[in-house]
Structure 1
Amino acid sequence: MTQAPHGQDYIPQLPDIDPETSKLDPQRSGFWTGSSGVVLANIGTSLKVPDLPEGERTIDSIPDLWARPLLFTRALYDTRHKLHGQVLAEWRGMLALVALWETRSLSLEVRSLELPTNPNRTNPAFVRAAALLCPTEALSEDTPWEKVNVFYYDDRPIGMASPTTLVCTAVSTQGRLDERVSWQKGGALADPCDFLSTAERGAVSFWLKKLSEELIESLGPIKGRPRSLLNSLTRLLSEFCKSLGEPVDSQVSERELGLSVGLYRLLDRPLRTREIGLQQSAVALVPSAGFQPVRSLLVLETELAQKWAVNPAEVPVYGRTTLAGIDFRALDPDKPGQIGREVLQGAAWRTPELFFCERLLLIAPDNVADRFEGIREVEGQKNLLFDGRPAVPILPIRGELLDYLSAADLQERIRLFMEKDGSIRVEMRLTLVGVNNKPRSLTIKHLYSREAIDCRTTVPIIEIWPHFRSQTWKTYYTYFDTAVRRAQEIFVARPHCGAIHDPEFRPQVFQRSESDVRQLTRTTAPPTALVCTAQFPDVSAPVEVGFLLLQDFPTVQTSDAAWSLGIDFGTSATQVYYQSGGSDEPEPLEIPRQFLRVTPVSADDLDRLTTYFLPPFVPETPFLTLFRPEVGTERTPYIRGNIRYLKPGTLAKLLNQEGVHSGFKWSDNEEGKQLLAGFLEQLALQCAAAAAGRGARTVRWHVSYPSVFSRGANAFLKSTWRTIARNCDLPCRDDELVFRTESEAAARFFKQKQGIPFTETICIDIGGGTSDISVWEETSLQQQCSIRFAGETLFMDLLKANPSVLGIFNPDWERRLIEAKRGTNFYAEADSLLRAGREEIFERLPMVVDTTNRQDRIYRFIHLISLGTAGLVFYAGLLVRRLVEQKRWASKTLPYVCIGGNGARMFRWLSLGQEFDQEAAQHRLFRKVLEASTSLEAGAAFGVAISKLPKAEAAFGLIVPSKILFKREEEAKIELAGENFSLGVAADAPIDDAETWKWNLKAEVLASGLKAPATFKFLRTFIDAYNTYAATHESLARKVVYNDGVEKLVRDSVQEYLNSQKGIDEAAIVVEPIFITALKALLKLETDAWVGGK
C-alpha cells in the first residue's frame, strides 16, 4: 500500500459489480462465509472492468514468464476481451510481416531455443523456471512450447511463434521496426489491410488461404481443445482473408525463414517476389533521347510514393525489391550497387541529396560587362545576385547526370530561387519510368545556405575548338588555363560530351607552378557541358561544384563538296591555298578562329592563348613557320605543342623564352622531325576544320617539297602526310594525296596567275631555306633543282652580320635584331620585324641611301643582295647551258625569268623600294649574268618577272589543273655541280671539265669524297659579268675583287664542305652544288668586308 497525503494508507478497492454478468449471491457486509474454489472465478467474471486507457496493450501484473503468449492467446480468441482488437491487429500485422518479408526485403529472421523437458540443477535458473512453467495447451503435439522460435527484426526481438496462435507479438515494438513495415502504429503492429497495396493484399490473402488449408490438412481429424483452437484460428484466418479481399494466385518463395518445428513449417516460406528488370523499375531515371548510359540510375526518395499518391509496395525498384522494402537508413553510399540483399546489375541507386554538390559556387566578375559565352541559362539565373552583384552559378549538380540527360533537358529541368535570407534553393525535375511504365516526374530540392555559397570574381581561360558540328567532324579540343591565378580564386573545368572517349584522349595537364596550370582535352564530339571542381580553404582536395551547360554548337550542313588544299611548308613561312570547286581559282586560306570562348578573358590573358593554344585573331598569310613543343607529351595535335602564330603587324620577340622553334624543316635529328610533324599535323587539322566548317565532305591534299631534300627527309615528310591524311576526319584517298616539287608548283602559278607563256622560261622560287628552280621549254618541264641558297643566306644573314643597317631606319629595330641574335630564332624574329616595317622601309629607302657613295652602308647592303641574287640566276643559266650542250634546248635566245617566293621581296631593295620591273637598272644585271652562264643572247622578249603574290606561288600552283604544264619523268630533277671537281681527294688527274660541271651531283658521289677544283671556272665567269655591270652608272653594285688569294679562301671553304660529306649516311645528305658552295664563300668574304668597313 502507498501512503496518503496525511500519512494514511491507500486502501485499494475492487471495481464495481457488473449486474449484467454477476454470479455472486448478495451477502451482508462484515460477515465471513465458507465457499468453494469457484467463487474466485465468479468474482472475476462479475467485476465491471473498465476499458483500457488508450495506448495500453497488455496487463502486466501476471507473474509468469509465459504471460505474454498466454494473454495473447486468450485476447485473440476471446472477442469480448478488452485487448482483443489490439491483439487481433498485431496478430494480423505479424502474419503479414512473415508473409511479406521477402517482397519487402524486411530484416526479419528467426532464432531458436529448445527448453529441456526435464530440467535439473545443471540448467541455468531462468531456463529451469521457463521449462517448469511451460504451458501445455497447443494445436499439435509436434509443436510444443519447449521449442521456442523468436522473431528478430534488425537484431531486435519483436515476437515469437506460438503453438496456439502461430505467431505472437512482443508487448512493444517501439523503435524496433523501420519504415518498410508501414503497418505500425503507436509502437505496435497494426492491421495491415489499409497499408498494403492492392497487389499485396491479394497476395497475402492467397498466402493466408493456403496457410489455413495446410493447417487443416496437417492436423487432420482432431478433437477437444486442439479442435476448438483450430476452429478459432481458421475462422480468424478466413476473416483476415475477407478483409484483404479476393486472393490472387501468387508464388511462394523457395527461401526459408528458419521455422522448422511442426506447424511452424507452414509459415517458413514467404510470398515470392515477382522479379523485375531495369526496364520495369518505376524509379529508373529516363535518359534523354539518344542517350544510352552504361548503367541505369535508380532514384530512391522516401516520399516518392506519397508524391505519386501510390502505395510504396506498388513501386517496383529492382529484382524483388519495391519501394516499400527499402530501409533508407541502411543505404550505404559506398555501395551504390546494392540495396539491402539485392545486388544491382547494370544499375546504381541514388538518393536526391547525392545529385547535389555540397557547395554552390557563384562567379561575379569584377567587370559586370564580362559575360560567359555559349552557356545555357536556367530559370532564375538572370535574377541571381550575390551581395547585390549579378552572378553566374556553376550549377551544383553532380556531373554524372550529364551521361543521362542532355544539356537542353537539364536546362529545362533546373530552377534557381533566391530566398530572403540570401540562401539559394535549387530544384531539379527528373523523369522516372513510373509505375506500369507510365513516366512520372519527381522534383528534388536542395537549399544552399549563405555558408554553403562561395562567390569568386576571377575566372580561368576556357576555350573550345572548333565551334561547329557536322556529320563528318570528330575532333574537338578544350583548352583550360589558370592564367597564373591561385587555385582558390578560380575553378577548374573539364569538358563532357556524353560520349565514351578513347583512352588516348585523356586530358593532358601542363603545370609550371601551382598557379600556372594548363589542361588540354581532346574529345570526339562537341562538349555539352563543363564539369567543374574548386578548391576551398577547409578542404585539402578539389571539390566537385557542378557544371556549366553549353549551348549547342552551330550545325554545318555537309555537302558533297571536296576541297583541294595546297600546302607550301616553308623554312621561314608557310602558305595555304584552297579550291572549293573545280572551276574556282585557288584562294589563300585564312585560318578562321572557329573557337568558343566560354569565360570572359582580359586583354592580359590573350597572349597566353596565342602562346599555348590558338590566337584570338586571324593569322596573316603567309604565316611564320614556328612551333612551340610540349615536353614528354603524346604525339597528338595541340597536345604535343602548337603553332606559334603572330598577330599581323606585331613583332616576334622572346620566342626562345616561350620555347618556340623555327627552321626545323631541315632538321635531321629526332627532335626536329617531331617539330615538323607537330607543325604539319596541327596545320592540316586547322585546314580540314576550315573546310568542314564550310560544308566540305572530303579533302584532297597537295603538298610541295624541295627536290634537294635528303632521301630520309623526303621519306619522313611523305610518311607524315600519309598519317595525317589517314587520321583526318575528312577522308582523303591515297590518290588524292599529291606531292609536287616546289619548283614545279611555283611555275604553275606563273603560268596560271600571271600569264607567263612558258615558251622558254626559268622559274625561281626563292624561299627562306631553298631556292627551287625549274627550266621550261614549250610548256614542258626540262629540268628542275632545289638548292640551299635562299632568303636566309641572301638576306637574313646580312642583317645578322650587320644589324646596324636597319638602325638607319629605326634605332629600335637594330636593338631588336641584336637581341634576336642571342637566341635561336633570329630568322623568325627578323622576318616578323621586316613584315611589320616593310612598307616604311621601302618608302624611306630612296631617301636614306647614297647612290653615289659606294661605301655607303645601305649601298653596300644592296650590293650584297645583288651579288647573291645575280649568282643564283647565273646558276639557273647553267642548267640551260647544260641543256644547250646536250642539244635539248632549241632556242637561241635567253629564257624569260620568273622570280617568286618570299625572297622575291628582296628585289624591291634593288629597285630602291619600287616594284621591280623592266625599267629597273638591275634588270640589266640579270640579263648580263644570264648571257654569261647560258652563252645565249637576249632577245626582245627577255624579261624578269617578279611575283605579284610573293610566297603564294607554290601553294597556288599545287592545285591548278595539271594540264597547263607538262612534266617530264623523274630524270628532270638534277643538282647540277656547276663547277668541275675530282673524284676522291687523293686523285691526281682531274676529270675533264665538260664531264664534271654538268654532273648531276648525287648523295652517293658526295659521300665517296670529292676534291675541289683548282680554279672555279664558272665563278670567275660570273664575277666578270657582275663586275662589268657594277662599273655602269647607278648600278648599286661594287666591283668584286677576285684574285688568287680570294680564290684560295673560296677553295678551302668548298673543300671543307666536301670533306664534311665524305663517309656519312647517303640518306641524310642534302646535296649542295659546288658552284653554290663557292658562291656562298664569296658572299661571306664580301659580307665580312662590309661589316669590317673595308
Structure 2
Amino acid sequence: MALLLPKLKPDCDVKASEAGEWDQQGSKAFQDVASSLDYKSPGQPKSVSSVPTMWARPLSMEMALHNNQYPIRDQMIKQWQGMLAAIALAEVRGFPLTAQLLELAEVTYEPFAQALFELLPDPANVLYTLEGKNPWQDVYLFLWDGKPVGMTTPSTLVCPSEEGEWAGLPWWQNQQLLSPHQFLNSSEKELFWRWLENLRKKLPQDNDNKKAINSIGTLIDDFRASLGGIPEEPLSLSDDPQFFGVLLNRGVLNALNRPVKAKPKPSHVRLIPSPEKGEVLDLLIIDPEIARYWSQSPQTIWVHEGKTLASLKIEDLRTGKIIWRDVRWIESKDLFLPEFVFIDQEQALPGAFLPQETQPLVFNSDRLTPLIPLNPILLEYFTPEDLISKIQLQPINGSDGPQIRVRLDLPLTGINEGNPPENYTLTKDYPLKAENALAEVPVLEVWPNFRAEGWQEYYAFYYDAEYGEDTFQVSFPEARETQVFKDGRGSYQMARLESFPSFIKCENGARNFLGLILLATPEEIQPVSSCMIGVDFGTSFTNVYFNRNNIAKPLELTNDLHLQITYVPNDTRLPVLFEYFIPENFIPQDKPLPLSSVLTTRGSQKTTDNKDGKQVFDGRIYVPDRYRFKPQEDYIKTNLKWLTEKLHFNQLFLKHLALHITALATKNQVNQIQWSLSFPSAFSRNEQRRYAKAWRDLTQKLQTKTGINHICPVVDDLDYFRSESLAIAQYFADYEEHNLVNTTCIDLGGGTSDISIWEENQLVHQCSVQLAGRDLFSQFLQWNPKFLERRFGVNVSDWNGLRGGAFNAKLDVLLRLESEEWLHQRRDFVADEPDFQGLIQLTAIGIAGLYYYVGLLLRVLHQEGKYSREEITPVYIGGNGSRLLNWLAVGGEFDSNSEINELLSRMLSSGSGFKDTEEITRLSQKPKDEVACGLVLRDSKLEGLKKKARDYPIAGEDYLLNGIDISWDSRLELPEEVQELKVPHLKQLKKFLYEFHVALRDLDIEELKRLEGYQVTLDSEPNDQLWRSTSKELTNVSLNIKGNSDNIRVEPPFILGLKALLQVLGKQWAEKWKK
C-alpha cells in the first residue's frame, strides 16, 4: 500500500487494520482519510483516486467541498465553479449543454447500474431528500455536444467529470475547468450573481442538514462575492422550462433548471433600410463572424428576443424550433447566390443599374455584363440606388483561374444601436465559368419610365427573341399580375405592377435563379398644370389634340416612355413591341397622328369574349405598317367604332388610348385632364349614351390608378361631348379663321360624313350620313384588289379574302403611307387608263351625290325658313376621306383651280335649285386633324354649338315608313318601333345622276368620263337595268331597318339609294377589271 497511496500526516486519525482484511467503516472514515493525506500537487492537479468505490469522483468532490482540509480543495472548487457558471450562462453564451435523468432503481437490470445502486453513497451530506429513497438514486448527467462532462449530486449540486471535453468553453483550458471570473463581462457577472443568489436561497428549502447547507452555502456566498457587488438588475431566468432538454426537479436542483436570461437589448444586427422604404419588417443578418469583424465578444452582440450571437443556435432557426414572427432573418451566406452568371457581351444592359467595377470585368479577353449575384430580399430594404452603392465587383486571379470578388457593405444597427450605423462587409469570390456565360439577351422593357404621385399603372415586357437557353428568362417579383405565353418558338411575358420595378429576377429554363437586374428609380415628376384633351375616335383613324395654356396642338407621341433595359437590335426589338406590347415608335415617325383605329389582342389569355378585358394584357393599340399588317388574323380587330357586338374590343382600344394619353400628359407635368369627345350624329341615341358611359367608366378607373384628376363629360354635356360636324366647323372658324357667314362644313371620314350648315356664324343644321371613304373608294378596291397589284405593286395574295373592316384597315394603312407620293409622281401616268378612269368616276359620283344631298338640305332648310338665302354655299371639307379629292385632280393635288370644283358647285346648285354661283370647295390644311383640334378650341365666334334641340335628318328621297308615304323634303323622325322602311322610286337619285352627266357635258369636265351605257335622260326606261339593280341592293339594306328606333342608325333614304347605286356600279367596274 505504501507504493500505491500517498503517505498520511503524522497526527492522522486513521488507524491501520489487519493486513489483507476488509474492514467495514462508516462514511466518516473517508473524510478522515481525506483529511489525513499528506499530498502536495506536483503541477497539474488531479483528483486523488484513493477512494475505493465506483462513486469515487462525486465523493471526492463532496470531500473537497465539505472538508476544508482536503488536499486539492482549491482546484476542485474552481472546477465546481466552472461547471456552475457553464450551467448558469448556457443560454446567454449558447453553450451546447444538455441534461439527462438517470434513475438507478429503474435500470438495475444492467449489471453496472446494479453495482452503482448497491454501492450508493451514504446520504450524510445531502442538500435535499427524496421521499422513500436515497437522493443518490436519481442523478442528472450533463452533456456537452452530446458527450458527458458532469453530473449532479445531492451533496455538491454539481460535479464535473475528470476527463470531460468542454470544447469551446472559454474557461476550459489545458483539459481543465477553471474558475470563470476572467472570462465574464460585467453584465454576465451581474446575471450570474443573481442566479447564485437564487440558488443560495433555495438551499435550505428541501433539507435541514445545516452542516451540509452551510458548507455549500458558504462556497456559494464566497463565489458570489468574488463576482462583485450587488447588481441593480433583478434576477432574469430563461423562458424555456426545459432548457437542458429535461426538467431538473430533484430538490434544490430545480434552481439549476433554468439558466439566466440577459435583459434583451435592441438588435445589433438589424439591417438599416433606405428611408424611402418606410415601415418594413426588420431584417436580421445572422453571422457569427460579425463579432470578430467588430472586435466584440459574441455574447455582447444582441440578435433578437434575448438571443445573442453566443446564445443563438442557428439550427433552431433553420428547423423552426425558434420562430420569430415580428422580424425576418437571413444568414449572411444566403445573401449571395451560389454562382456568378454573366452576359458575354459588353454593355448588354443599357437600362440597368450596374455596380462599381474596380477594373473592367472580362471573360476570354472580352468585356462582360454581370447579373448581380445577390438575394432579392435586399431590394425590399434598399432602393436600387442605395444597394448599388454598397456593391463592388473586382476581378481577381484565383488558384484555378480568373475570379470575380463581390463585396457587399451592409449598414447594421451595431452596438451603438444605429447611432451611427455600423458597417459589416461581406465578400464572396466567384470563379468565371464558361457554363455560366449567356451568349444573348432578350427584349426587356418597362413602361412608362417615370414616377409620379399616385401613378400605379406600370407594365413590363419580356421576349426571349427565340434564343432559348442562350439567354435568360425573367420574373417580376413586384408584379400584381403576370401573363406568360408562347407564340411559335418565342417565349413572352407581360407583367402589371403598381410601382416602378426596382429589380428583375433572371432565371434559366428550369426557373433556377441566376441573378438580379437592378433598375434605377426614375426621378419623380411633379404634375402642376391642367390641360384639355380632344379625342376624335374615327372609323379608320383616331386623332388626339392637346390644349394647354390656350395653345392647341397635336399630342406628341414621344418615344421616351419606354425603359429599354437590354440592348437588342431594333430590327428585332421594334417589331415585337408593335405586335405584343406598347409601341415605342409610332409610324410614320414624322406624323404619327392620327393612329389607326386598330386593336390587337395578340398574347391575350382570355378564352371568352366579355367586357372584363384588361388593357395591354388583353388588347392594345396596334400600329400597322404596309408589310407587317395582317388584318385577317383573329387577333386583329378593326371597324371598332361601329361594332354592335363584342363591344369590349372597342372599349379595350379606348382604355389603352386613354392610358397612353394620360402617361404622356403626366410626363408633361399635367395633373388634371379635361376630356373633350366627339361622336358622329349618325350614332343612335343608345350608341351615344354607351360611348359617353364607356369614357366615364374608364377615366374613373384611370383616376384611381394614375393619381391624375380626370374630368369626363356626360352624354348631355354640350361643351365637351360634341358632334363631329360641330367640332370641324369650329376648327374652320377658329383655327383656320374662315368666316362661316354662309358655309357648309363637311367632315368626310372613313365611315361617316358629318355635315353642318351655317349662316351668319349661326348653326342652321347638322347631320351625319354613313357615306364616306369606305363607300366612296375602299369598297371598290375590295372587290378588285388586282387594281392595287397593278398600280401599287402589292402582293395580291396578301389581300385576297379580306373583307369589310379588315380590308379597309389594310387599305387605309397603304394609302396613308404611300398615296401622297403615288398621286404626285405616278397618277398622271395612269390618268387615262380605263381602270383608273373607272375608279375615279365612281368616287366622283359618290362625292357629287353627297354634294347634291347638301343642295337638297339647303332647299328644305330654306323652305322651313331656317336658311334665309337662296344661295348655295362654299364648302369647307376635311377629314381623312377629304383626301379623295386629290384622286380626282390633275397632278394629284386638289385646289380651288381643280375643275372638279366646278362639278361640285353645280351639284349644290342642282340639288338646291339655287343659282350656280361657282362656289369653291376648300380643303382643310390638316386633313383628319380638324375634329380633334376643334374639340379643344375655346371662345368660339360661332353660335349654336350648345344647341340642345334635336336636329332630325332630311330624307332627300320619297319613302314609305310603316306603310305611310312620306315626302323627300320631310324630316326623318322615326316612331318608337319601326316595322319597315322602303324607298320605292328613287326619284331624286335618278335626277342626281342625270344632273351629274349634264354637268360633265356642260362644264366640259375633261378629268372624268361619263358612265358607259348610261343614257343621259330623266326617263327611267333607257336605264331600267341600272335602276332595277340599284333597287335590289337598296331593298337588301332596308330590310334590316326595323326594331326599336333608339337602336337604329338613321340614314336618309337618298343616301341609302346613293350607296346602293355605288355598290352596283362598283361591282360592275370590279368585274370588268379584275383580271
| TM-score tier after normalising by the smaller chain length | 0.7 to 0.9
Q: Cα–Cα, structure 1 residues 232 and 899, in superposed 2: closer, same or farther, change >3 Å?
A: closer
User: Using the alignment, how far apart are the partners of 2:52 and 2:364 within structure 1?
Assistant: 71
Q: Cα–Cα, structure 1 residues 741 and 34, in superposed 2: closer, same or farther, change >3 Å?
A: closer
Q: Give the Å deviation of 1:758.
A: 0.9
Q: Cα–Cα, structure 1 residues 725 and 653, in superposed 2: closer, same or farther, change >3 Å?
A: closer
Q: Tell me which residue corresponds to 1:531.
A: 505
Query: Which 10-residue stretch deviates more, 707-716 or 883-892?
Result: 707-716
Q: 2:701 aligns with which of 718, 727, 740?
A: 727
Aligned length: 1018
Q: Give the Å deviation of 1:999.
A: 2.5
Partners of 1:800 and 1:817 within 8 A in 2: no
User: Using the alignment, how far apart are the partners of 2:251 and 2:555 within structure 1?
Assistant: 96
Q: How does 1:81-480 map to 2 (within 5 A)?
A: 87-103=76-92, 110-115=99-104, 125-136=111-122, 137-140=124-127, 142=129, 144-153=134-143, 157-174=148-165, 183-185=171-173, 189-215=177-203, 222-223=210-211, 226=212, 230-231=214-215, 233-235=217-219, 237-243=221-227, 246-253=230-237, 256=241, 258-275=247-264, 280-292=266-278, 294-332=280-318, 335=320, 340=321, 342-365=322-345, 368=346, 370-380=347-357, 383-420=360-397, 421-438=401-418, 439-450=421-432, 454-480=436-462
Partners of 1:418 and 1:425 within 8 A in 2: yes
Q: Give the Å deviation of 1:997.
A: 4.4
Q: Cα–Cα, structure 1 residues 79 and 301, in superposed 2: closer, same or farther, change >3 Å?
A: farther
Partners of 2:754 and 2:768 within 8 A in 1: yes
TM-score, normalised relative to structure 2: 0.88
Q: Cα–Cα, structure 1 residues 1071 and 663, in superposed 2: closer, same or farther, change >3 Å?
A: same
Q: Tell me which residue corresponds to 1:545.
A: 514
Letter in 2 for 1:665: K
Post-superposition Cα deviations, 1:234-268, rounded to whole Å, max 9, x if no partner, equal 23541354146653432243765533333324434
Q: Give the Å deviation of 1:196.
A: 3.0
Q: 1:68 aligns with which of 34, 40, 57?
A: 57
Q: Tell me which residue corresponds to 1:1074.
A: 1053
Letter in 2 for 1:291: K
Q: Cα–Cα, structure 1 residues 731 and 309, in superposed 2: closer, same or farther, change >3 Å?
A: same
User: Using the alignment, how far apart are the partners of 2:30 and 2:84 within structure 1?
Assistant: 39
Partners of 1:51 and 1:82 within 8 A in 2: no
User: Using the alignment, how far apart are the partners of 2:40 and 2:186 within structure 1?
Assistant: 39
Post-superposition Cα deviations, 1:112-155, rounded to whole Å, max 9, x if no partner, equal 44455xx9x98654444223211113244626543423144576
User: Using the alignment, how far apart are the partners of 1:1081 and 1:642 within structure 2?
Assistant: 35
Q: 1:1030 aligns with which of 990, 994, 1000?
A: 1000
Q: Give the Å deviation of 1:890.
A: 0.5
User: Using the alignment, how far apart are the partners of 1:43 and 1:1008 within structure 2?
Assistant: 128
Q: Cα–Cα, structure 1 residues 78 and 41, in superposed 2: closer, same or farther, change >3 Å?
A: closer
Q: Tell me which residue corresponds to 1:1091.
A: 1070
Q: Tell me which residue corresponds to 1:682.
A: 656
Q: Tell me which residue corresponds to 2:814.
A: 833
Q: 2:760 aligns with which of 774, 778, 786?
A: 778
Q: Does 1:1012 align with 2:951?
A: no
Partners of 1:900 and 1:946 within 8 A in 2: yes
Post-superposition Cα deviations, 1:378-414, rounded to whole Å, max 9, x if no partner, equal 1227621222221111111111211111111111111
Q: Tell me which residue corresponds to 1:1045.
A: 1025
Q: Does 1:621 align with 2:615?
A: no
Q: How does 1:659-698 map to 2 (within 5 A)?
A: 659-670=635-646, 673-698=647-672
Partners of 1:563 and 1:580 within 8 A in 2: yes
Q: Give the Å deviation of 1:273.
A: 4.2
Letter in 2 for 1:600: Y
Q: Tell me which residue corresponds to 2:965.
A: 991
SS in 1 for 2:408: strand
Q: 1:1059 aligns with which of 1026, 1034, 1039?
A: 1039
SS in 1 for 2:940: helix
SS in 2 for 1:444: strand
Q: Tell me which residue corresponds to 1:29.
A: none
Q: Which runs of 5 or more structure 1 residues have no equivalent in the other structure?
A: 1-11, 25-31, 536-540
Partners of 2:129 and 2:206 within 8 A in 1: no
Q: Tell me which residue corresponds to 2:15.
A: none
SS in 1 for 2:83: helix
Q: Cα–Cα, structure 1 residues 317 and 817, in superposed 2: closer, same or farther, change >3 Å?
A: closer
Partners of 2:359 and 2:394 within 8 A in 1: no
Letter in 2 for 1:685: L
Q: Give the Å deviation of 1:1079.
A: 0.7
User: Using the alignment, how far apart are the partners of 1:255 and 1:380 within structure 2?
Assistant: 49
Q: Tell me which residue corresponds to 1:798.
A: 780
Q: Which runs of 5 or more structure 2 residues have no equivalent in the other structure?
A: 13-18, 607-611, 1015-1019
Q: Give the Å deviation of 1:903.
A: 0.7
User: Using the alignment, how far apart are the partners of 2:466 and 2:370 within structure 1?
Assistant: 23
Aligned-pair identity (%): 26
User: Using the alignment, how far apart are the partners of 1:792 and 1:800 within structure 2?
Assistant: 10
Q: Give the Å deviation of 1:846.
A: 5.3
Partners of 1:23 and 1:43 within 8 A in 2: no
Q: Cα–Cα, structure 1 residues 850 and 699, in superposed 2: closer, same or farther, change >3 Å?
A: closer
Q: How does 1:477-492 map to 2 (within 5 A)?
A: 477-486=459-468, 488-492=469-473
Q: Cα–Cα, structure 1 residues 455 and 167, in superposed 2: closer, same or farther, change >3 Å?
A: same
Q: Give the Å deviation of 1:294.
A: 4.5
User: Using the alignment, how far apart are the partners of 1:828 and 1:393 within structure 2?
Assistant: 45
Q: 1:510 aligns with which of 485, 501, 510?
A: 485
Q: Cα–Cα, structure 1 residues 478 and 208, in superposed 2: closer, same or farther, change >3 Å?
A: same
User: Using the alignment, how far apart are the partners of 2:51 and 2:126 within structure 1?
Assistant: 24
User: Using the alignment, how far apart are the partners of 1:710 and 1:904 within structure 2?
Assistant: 24
TM-score, normalised relative to structure 1: 0.86
Q: Cα–Cα, structure 1 residues 828 and 141, in superposed 2: closer, same or farther, change >3 Å?
A: closer
Q: Tell me which residue corresponds to 2:16.
A: none
Q: Cα–Cα, structure 1 residues 382 and 617, in superposed 2: closer, same or farther, change >3 Å?
A: farther
Partners of 2:351 and 2:566 within 8 A in 1: no
Q: Give the Å deviation of 1:101.
A: 4.2
SS in 2 for 1:1061: coil
Q: Give the Å deviation of 1:925.
A: 1.0
Letter in 1 for 2:514: V
Q: Tell me which residue corresponds to 1:913.
A: 891
Q: Give the Å deviation of 1:1034.
A: 3.4
SS in 2 for 1:507: strand
Q: Cα–Cα, structure 1 residues 86 and 869, in superposed 2: closer, same or farther, change >3 Å?
A: farther
Q: Tell me which residue corresponds to 2:1017.
A: none
SS in 1 for 2:288: coil
SS in 2 for 1:354: helix
User: Using the alignment, how far apart are the partners of 1:1092 and 1:46 within structure 2?
Assistant: 135
Q: Cα–Cα, structure 1 residues 846 and 637, in superposed 2: closer, same or farther, change >3 Å?
A: closer
Query: Which 10-residue stretch deviates more, 33-42 or 79-88?
Result: 33-42
Q: Cα–Cα, structure 1 residues 1001 and 43, in superposed 2: closer, same or farther, change >3 Å?
A: closer
User: Using the alignment, how far apart are the partners of 2:572 and 2:437 within structure 1?
Assistant: 22
Q: Give the Å deviation of 1:698.
A: 0.8
Partners of 2:189 and 2:228 within 8 A in 1: yes
Q: Tell me which residue corresponds to 1:765.
A: 747
Q: Give the Å deviation of 1:63.
A: 5.7
Q: Tell me which residue corresponds to 1:6.
A: none
Partners of 1:1029 and 1:1035 within 8 A in 2: no
SS in 2 for 1:692: helix
Q: How does 1:693-772 map to 2 (within 5 A)?
A: 693-728=667-702, 729=706, 730-734=708-712, 738-772=720-754
The root-mean-square deviation of aligned C-alpha atoms, in Å, is 3.5
Partners of 1:284 and 1:297 within 8 A in 2: yes
